[in-house]
Structures are given as structure tokens and as C-alpha cells.
């Protein structure tokens, strides 16, 4: 027994030794990321003079919380922030309402064209937005609604939903396919119709996958730049990505780099908070798509 234990320990030691380079690279990457993010946060509490002099973490002139207030109120970050929050929240909710039933039907029912529809969604995921943006812009411009704020917001939400439907459907389709059918069979024996079974039983069971794909969609919409650049004609409807780009361009005239870093931290916070509090759900959703229920 002692000999077997020594052999087992030796095997484990050799395994850990082989993994050592990977651990070192991962540790260096994590350290670099923390240092980089820490510097950005530190710069957001300092002044432009301290940023260029390399004394960000010394806070010689104190901690400048007014950078955040100035970025939020004066630089229109509050407007861009709320616009992106509305776009991302509504788009994510509509995507689940549209794609979850579609993914469930495609994964559970066999009918003519099922495979064709699935292949169509997969093919649509490979179509770049640049191929369709000009025809869409011509169509929307022909309706003369680009100068109407409410209509402009509705167009952006519609585009965000349409672009993310293929990915969301395929992701949830894979997740539903790996859920056990025994629950549906038990519900059918009790006389529960298929749609009620979906809403009452299967949809709650797919919660990890739904949360995961919602977070991915939220991040995609939150960071989206190209569509907002084309279709958002005024500051009232621009997203945070366009707003930050405008702030960076204005730095050459104002020189308020501390305020710019404060705006970057404000924009970064929602996705960071989502990941921190829902990281376990994300891991469960990703791994659940590859394990049979």
C-alpha cells in the first residue's frame, strides 16, 4: 500500500510539473490584467498631470471623486449609459422570448425542414454585419424615421435582436437537446400540453443556459459600435461605445484624461458586475451544453 501511494504521488507530481508552464503563463496574464485594470481605476481618481508624470498611485493631490461626477453629468456619459442599458435590456428580453421557444421546438420535434432551419441559423451566424448594414440603412432612411428619437431607438433594438437571433437560438437549441426527456414524458402522462410543459417545466430547467446566453448578448449589445455609429444620428440615442469614442477624440482639445478614465470605469462596471455575481451560472450554462442530462 505504501509503495502504491508513493507511485501515485509521483504520478501526480509529474502531472503537476507538466502543467507548470500553463500555470505560469496564466498567472502572468492574470497579474498583467489586474495591474492594467488597477492603473485605469487609479487614473480615474487622479488628475491629468499625475497621469502624465507617472504618479497615479501616489495620489499627491488627493482622491478626485469629482472626475466621476464630471464624466457622468458634463460629458453625457449618463445619456449614453442609459441608452445602452435600455438597448441591452430590451434586446436580451426579446431574444429569450423569441429564441427559447424556437430552440425548444427545433430540439424536441421532428418535422420537415427542421435540419434546414438549423443550418440556416448556423449559416446566418457567419454573415458579417457589414454586408447587410448598407441595405438596411437605405431601407430605414427611406422611411424617414432616422431623425425621430423613439423610432431610432426602436430600429436599433430591432437590429440588435435580429443580429443575435441565430447565435441565441443555436446556443439554446444545444442546451435543450441535452435536457432529459423524462420530465416531458411525466408531464404528458399527467395531461400537461406541450406548450405548458415548455413554460412551466423546461424553461426553468434551462435557466443556466438562458442566463449565460443573456449575459453574452448583453455584453455584445453593450459593446456594439458599428450599428450605433450608422443608425444613431444624435447624442440622445447614441450608445456608450460611440460616446466613449467621441470623448477620446475630444481629449485633444480638453485634456481631461482623468475624466475619460472615469468614464471608462463607469462603462466597464455593468459587464464586470454581471460576471462577478453570475460567473457560476455562466460556467454551468457553458458546460451544461456539452453534457447529456
In a domain, 17, yes or no: yes
Beta-carbon contacts of residue 184 (< 8 Å; ≥ 6 apart): 108, 194, 197, 201, 202
- Domain match, 16 and 137 both: no
CA angle at residue 215 from 209 to 216, to 5 degrees? 90
- Domain match, 264 and 131 both: yes
CA proximity to 49, closest of 35, 41, 39, 60? 60
Task: Over range 221-241, report the average pLDDT.
Answer: 85
- Domain match, 159 and 205 both: yes
In a domain, 31, yes or no: yes
In a domain, 61, yes or no: no
pLDDT at 11: 55
- Concatenating the DSSP letter of every residue in 192-223 gives --HHHHIIIIIHHHTHHHHHHHHHHHHHHHHH
- Domain match, 128 and 217 both: yes
In a domain, 244, yes or no: yes
> Which of 4-8, 43-47, 284-288 has the highest mean predicted lDDT (pLDDT)?
43-47
Scored b (16 or more CB within 10 A) or e, 45-83 reads: bbbbebbeeeebeeeeeeebeebbebbbeebbbebbbeb
65-121: pLDDT as tens digits: 888 888 888 777 888 889 999 999 999 999 999 999 999 988 888 888 888 988 988
- Domain match, 235 and 142 both: yes
- Domain match, 102 and 13 both: no
> Do residues 104 and 209 make contact, with C-beta atoms less than 8 angstroms apart?
no
CATH number of the domain encompassing residue 231 = 1.10.3720.10
149-176: pLDDT as tens digits: 777 888 889 999 989 999 999 999 988 8
CA angle at residue 28 from 24 to 32, to 5 degrees? 170
SS3 assignment, position 133: helix
In a domain, 60, yes or no: no
- Domain match, 140 and 265 both: yes
- Domain match, 267 and 136 both: yes
pLDDT at 292: 45
- Domain count along the chain: 2
Helix axes 77-108, 66-73, angle to 10 degrees: 70
Helices marked H in the chain: 2-44, 48-53, 66-73, 77-108, 114-125, 129-142, 149-177, 182-189, 194-197, 203-205, 207-223, 226-231, 240-254, 257-288
List the domain range (segments joined by +) for residue 8.
Answer: 2-44
- Residue 238: how many other CB atoms lie within 10 Å: 23
- Domain match, 98 and 219 both: yes
- Domain match, 141 and 223 both: yes
Instruction: Give the global pTM.
Output: 0.81
* The C-alpha cell that represents 25 in the structure block: 503563463
In a domain, 245, yes or no: yes
- Domain match, 31 and 139 both: no
Amino acid at each position: 500500500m505504501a509503495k502504491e501511494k508513493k507511485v501515485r504521488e509521483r504520478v501526480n507530481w509529474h502531472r503537476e510539473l507538466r502543467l507548470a508552464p500553463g500555470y505560469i503563463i496564466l498567472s502572468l496574464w492574470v497579474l498583467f490584467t489586474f495591474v492594467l485594470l488597477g492603473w485605469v481605476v487609479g487614473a480615474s481618481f487622479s488628475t491629468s498631470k499625475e497621469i502624465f508624470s507617472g504618479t497615479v498611485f501616489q495620489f499627491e493631490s488627493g482622491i478626485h471623486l469629482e472626475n466621476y461626477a464630471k464624466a457622468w453629468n458634463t460629458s453625457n456619459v449618463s445619456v449614453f449609459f442609459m441608452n445602452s442599458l435600455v438597448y441591452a435590456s430590451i434586446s436580451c428580453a426579446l431574444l429569450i422570448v423569441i429564441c427559447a421557444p424556437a430552440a425548444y421546438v427545433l430540439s424536441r420535434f421532428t418535422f420537415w425542414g427542421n435540419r434546414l432551419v438549423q443550418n440556416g441559423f448556423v449559416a446566418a451566424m457567419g454573415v458579417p454585419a457589414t454586408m447587410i448594414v448598407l441595405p438596411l440603412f437605405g431601407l430605414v432612411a427611406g422611411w424617414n424615421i432616422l431623425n425621430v428619437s423613439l423610432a431610432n431607438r426602436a430600429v436599433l433594438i430591432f437590429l440588435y435582436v435580429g443580429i443575435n437571433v441565430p447565435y441565441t437560438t443555436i446556443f439554446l437549441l444545444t442546451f435543450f437537446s441535452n435536457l432529459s426527456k423524462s420530465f416531458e414524458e411525466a408531464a404528458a402522462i399527467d395531461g400537461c400540453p406541450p406548450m405548458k410543459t415548455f413554460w412551466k417545466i423546461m424553461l426553468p430547467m434551462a435557466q443556466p443556459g438562458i442566463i449565460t446566453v443573456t449575459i453574452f448578448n448583453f455584453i455584445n449589445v453593450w459593446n456594439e459600435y458599428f450599428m450605433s455609429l450608422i443608425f444613431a444620428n444624435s447624442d440622445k440615442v447614441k450608445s456608450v461605445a460611440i460616446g466613449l469614442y467621441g470623448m477620446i477624440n475630444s481629449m485633444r482639445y480638453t485634456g481631461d484624461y482623468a475624466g475619460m478614465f472615469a468614464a471608462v470605469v463607469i462603462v466597464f462596471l455593468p459587464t464586470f458586475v454581471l460576471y462577478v455575481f453570475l460567473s457560476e451560472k455562466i460556467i454551468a450554462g457553458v458546460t451544461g451544453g456539452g453534457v447529456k442530462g
